A and B are shown apart, each in its own frame.
Chain A
Amino acid sequence: MTGNLSASLSEALGLLLRADAELWRIVLLSLFVSSLAVTLSALLALPVALAVAWREFPGKRIVIGLVNSLIAVPAVVIGLLLYLALSRSGPFGALGLLFTPRAMILAQAFLALPLLTGLFIAALQSVGRRVKETALTLGASPLQAALTLLREARFALLAAYTTGFARLLGETGMTMMVGGNIRGQTRVMTTAIALETLRGNFELGIALGIILFTVAIGVNIILQILQGRAGR
């Protein structure tokens, strides 16, 4: 077993050093899908978070509670609903999105939406009412005050964005359901690791695991730096 592991590890390092085409195609697709999904989600979440954080209104706690509850929805449930919607007999079946990277982006964007909305609201509220009021008393229009609030919260917002990206990059089940894990088309790092491990082809799994681990550590370092700046 130890011999198998060391042979697999050595083969994995070989794949990395040889810049194996399939391996890097999988890595690039993973980064492409998750970064596009988190950006799409952030574009939707930011105005919602700003609207919620901007002022006090009846039911604000309920809205925040609802957003936080949606974060707990399992990814596979989102995958299942999206699969049903995009399958040939589903309401959006005619779009032909199932088992394409676009379906994976859509699913990941849905998954990240409540998480980013919740984190963005917290980020904007952490900056506080006083920043908004300082801008308003300085003569800012509502738009200028909103932009000031976003600028003051930028590190906390970027930290939330990075958290969302890391969450999506590590997602497996839902991505496999709507992407289909098709070689050369929709296979990403997590789904490839799961498949190759089941097949007993550990070398590709280990190589991808090393990359995934490195990206996760890199993202975590960025997150720590951003959180440090946000807390200053």
Chain B
Amino acid sequence: MRIEVRGIVKRFEERTALDGVDLLMEKPGVSVLVGPNGSGKTTLLRILSLLERPDEGRLLMDGLPVDFRSGHSAILRLRRRVMMVHAPAIMLTGSVRDNVEYGLAFRGVPRKKRMEKAAEVMEKMLLTGFERRDAATLSAGETQRVALARALAVSPEVLLLDEPTANLDPLSVRLIEETIRAMALSGTCVLLATHHLQMAESLAEQVLVMKEGRLLGGNEGLKGGIIGT
């Protein structure tokens, strides 16, 4: 999927969160978005996942401009190709398996296929044996792994991750990084926002630096020390 952002502006009352952002994502791989708190990273991810409407500018998917006022079905079709994983992720009511299956259930996948797919991705995310556990009782690391398993289950063309490893144990961080890398290799376009410089350097094929609602771009920004805490 080719995503193109052209001159996007987003304001929240008096504050300008995004101030004319241009971005092109067309090849599978990992792009990392870094920048201080409040620089607009999350807002950009929310617009790309169609949760937020830009005030100005255009978002094009596969060359076609996204019309946020168009019918629900058009937006839904696009949204099902893009997956956003929040941090901390929200677990819905039910077991770990229920949570992994939600995305498939929303798409009308039959129960048997859902269970097979869930078992497959849970094994990848080292969640085998957690199937029946109440998702509300998971630790932060386990929750984030289930959130990524939910994403894996629906095989998105574009994966957007907002601070996917914040406050996680080293094992979960490593597993999440490996999964992100594997998804990129299998053809997914990944864009993740993080404060972790190490993560950005180890994963990113492209580093995008954001500051005050603008994309500065280039790997040099990473070494320029503008990343906040």
Question: Which chain B residue has the least Cβ–Cβ distance from A134?
Answer: B90
Q: Number of contacting residues on A, CB 8 A?
A: 17
Q: Mark B74-89, 1 if CB is under 8 A from A, else 0.
A: 0010011001111001
Q: Is the CB of A139 within 8 A of B86?
A: no
- Chain B residues packing against A (C-beta within 8 Å): 49, 51, 72, 76, 79-80, 83-86, 89-90, 92-93, 102-103, 106-107, 136, 150, 154
Q: Is the CB of A138 within 8 A of B106?
A: yes
Decide yes or no: A140 and B51 within 8 Å by CB, A152-B92, A152-B93, A232-B136 being known contacts.
no
Question: Which chain B residue has the least Cβ–Cβ distance from A129?
Answer: B51
Q: Which residue of B89, B90, B93, B103 contacts A139 across the interface (Cβ within 8 Å)?
A: B103
Q: Mark A186-226, 1 if CB is under 8 A from B, else 0.
A: 00000000000000000000000000000000000000000
Q: Which residue of B84, B85, B92, B154 contacts A131 across the interface (Cβ within 8 Å)?
A: B92
Question: Which chain B residue has the least Cβ–Cβ distance from A145?
Answer: B106
Whether A133 sits at the interface, judged by CB under 8 Å, is yes
Whether A130 sits at the interface, judged by CB under 8 Å, is yes
Q: Is the CB of B102 within 8 A of A138?
A: yes
**What's the Cα separation between A137 and B78 when bound, in Å?**
11
Cβ < 8 Å to B, chain A residues 133-161:
133-142, 144, 148, 151-152
Chain A: interface secondary structure?
helix
**What's the Cα separation between A131 and B86 when bound, in Å?**
11
What are the residues of chain B within 8 A of A152 when measuring CB–CB? 92-93
**What's the Cα separation between A142 and B50 when bound, in Å?**
13
What are the residues of chain B within 8 A of A151 when measuring CB–CB? 92-93
Q: Is the CB of A130 within 8 A of B107?
A: no
Q: Is the CB of A138 within 8 A of B93?
A: no
Decide yes or no: A137 and B84 within 8 Å by CB, A148-B92, A232-B136 being known contacts.
yes
Q: Is the CB of B90 within 8 A of A130?
A: yes
Q: Is the CB of B103 within 8 A of A134?
A: no
Q: Is the CB of B89 within 8 A of A134?
A: yes
Shortest C-beta distance, A63 to chain B (Å), equals 19
**What's the Cα separation between A135 and B93 when bound, in Å?**
12
**What's the Cα separation between A151 and B76 when bound, in Å?**
21
**What's the Cα separation between A137 and B87 when bound, in Å?**
13
Question: Which chain B residue has the least Cβ–Cβ distance from A130?
Answer: B90
What would 6 more interface pairs be, CB under 8 Å, given A141-B72, A144-B106?
A130-B90, A131-B92, A137-B49, A137-B86, A151-B92, A232-B136
What are the residues of chain B within 8 A of A142 when measuring CB–CB? 72, 76
Q: Is the CB of B72 within 8 A of A138?
A: no
Q: Is the CB of B51 within 8 A of A136?
A: yes
**What's the Cα separation between A139 and B108 when bound, in Å?**
10
What are the residues of chain B within 8 A of A134 when measuring CB–CB? 86, 89-90, 92
What are the residues of chain B within 8 A of A141 when measuring CB–CB? 72, 76, 106
Shortest C-beta distance, A44 to chain B (Å), equals 24
Best-buried of A130, A134, A135, A139 by chain B (most CB within 10 Å): A139
**What's the Cα separation between A131 and B92 when bound, in Å?**
7
**What's the Cα separation between A140 and B86 when bound, in Å?**
16
What are the residues of chain A within 8 A of B51 when measuring CB–CB? 133, 136-137
